[in-house]
Chains A and B, each alone.
Chain A
Amino acid sequence: MTNLHTPGIIRSGASKFVSAPMSAKFGIVIITLYALTALLAPHLARYGEAEIVGTQFEPWSAAFWLGTDNLGRDMFTRLIFGARNTIGIALITTILAFSIGASAGLAAATFGGWTDQILSRLVDVLMSIPQLIFALLLLSIFGTSIPTLVIVIAVLDSTRVFRLTRAIAINAEVSDYVEVARLRGEGPIWIMTREILPNIAPTLIAEFGLRFCFVFLLISGLSFLGLGIQPPTADWGSMVRDTATLIVYGDITPLLPAGAIALLAVSVNLIVDWFLHSASGLKE
Chain B
Amino acid sequence: MTSILRIIGQRVALGALTLWIVSIIIFAGIQLLPGDIATEILGQSATPETVAAFRKSLGLDLPVHLRYLRWLGGILHGNFGTALASGRDIGELIAPRLFNTLFLALSAAIISVPLALLGGIVAAINRNTFIDRAINVVTLSSISFPEFFVAYILILIFAVHAGVLPSLSDVDSTTSFVDRLTAIALPALTLAVVVLAHMMRMTRTSIVNLLGNQYIETARLKGLSEWRVLVRHALPNAWGPIATVVVLNMAYLITGVVVVEVVFVYPGLGQLIVDSVQKRDIPVVQACSLIFAATYVLLNLTADVLSIVTNPRLMHPK
Interface of A with B (CB < 8 Å)?
Answer: 23, 124-125, 128-134, 136-143, 213, 217, 220-221, 224-227, 237, 240, 244, 247-250, 252, 254-255, 258-259, 261-262, 265-266, 268-270, 273, 284
Contacts and interface: CB of A to CB of B under 8 A. Distances in A.
A225 B271 CA distance: 9
B83 interface: no
Given A129-B289, A227-B277, A273 B136 contact: yes
Contacts of B145: 262, 265-266
B149 A261 contact: yes
Nearest to A136: B277
A265 B197 CA distance: 15
Contacts of A137: 26, 29, 285-286, 289
Nearest to B293: A129
B55 to A, nearest CB: 20
A interface SS class: helix
A269 B21 contact: no
28 contacts: A23-B137, A128-B22, A128-B296, A129-B26, A129-B296, A133-B254, A133-B255, A133-B296, A136-B258, A137-B26, A137-B289, A140-B29, A213-B144, A221-B147, A221-B259, A224-B146, A240-B148, A244-B263, A248-B160, A254-B152, A255-B152, A258-B152, A261-B146, A266-B144, A269-B140, A269-B141, A273-B136, A284-B128
B63 to A, nearest CB: 21
A224 B259 contact: yes
A248 B167 contact: yes
Given A129-B26, A134-B293, 18 more contacts: A125-B21, A129-B289, A130-B292, A130-B296, A133-B255, A133-B288, A140-B29, A141-B282, A217-B144, A225-B274, A227-B277, A240-B149, A250-B161, A252-B156, A258-B152, A262-B141, A262-B146, A266-B145
Contacts of B160: 247-250
B254 A266 contact: no
Contacts of A255: 149, 152-153, 156
B219 to A, nearest CB: 24
Interface in B27-70: 29, 32-33
Contacts of A134: 289, 293
Going nearest first, the 5 A-B pairs with the smallest beta carbon separation are A265-B144, A258-B149, A140-B277, A266-B144, A132-B255
Contacts of B106: none
- Give the residue among B251, B273, B277, B297 with the most A Cβ atoms within 10 A: B277
A266 B139 CA distance: 10
B25 interface: yes
Nearest to B278: A226
A133 B251 CA distance: 12
B255 A266 contact: no
Interface in B153-167: 153, 155-156, 159-161, 167
Contacts of A213: 144
A142 B32 CA distance: 8
Contacts of A143: 280
A125 B25 contact: yes
Nearest to B276: A140
Contact of A136 (B22, B146, B273): B273
A30 B59 CA distance: 57
Contacts of B26: 129, 137
A133 B22 contact: no
Contact of A140 (B147, B280, B300): B280
A250 B160 CA distance: 6
A254 to B, nearest CB: 6
A139 to B, nearest CB: 6
A121 to B, nearest CB: 9
B262 interface: yes
B309 interface: no
B266 to A, nearest CB: 14
Contact of B152 (A140, A217, A247, A265): A247
B128 A247 contact: no
Nearest to A124: B18
Given A213-B144, A284-B128, A128 B297 contact: yes
B210 interface: no
